[in-house]
Amino acid sequence: MNKGILEKFEELLNDYFSSDKPQEIGLPSVAYCAQELNLSANYFGDLIKKETGTSAQEYIQQKLIDVAKERLFDPAKSVNEVAYGLGFKYPQHFSRVFKQRVGYTPNEYRMLDFN
pLDDT of 115 reads 44
pLDDT, greater one: 114 or 73: 73
Range of the domain at 65: 2-111
User: pLDDT, tens digit, for every residue of 46-102?
Assistant: 999 999 999 999 999 999 999 999 999 998 999 999 999 999 999 999 999 999 999
Residue 49 · residue 56 · CB < 8 Å: yes
Number of domains in the chain: 1
User: pLDDT, tens digit, for every residue of 23-50?
Assistant: 999 999 999 999 999 999 999 999 999 9
Binned at pLDDT 50, 70 and 90, residue 2 comes out as low
CA torsion through residues 95, 97, 99, 102, sign = negative
- CATH classification at residue 24: 1.10.10.60
Check pLDDT > 70 for residue 19: yes
CA torsion through residues 81, 67, 50, 35, sign = positive
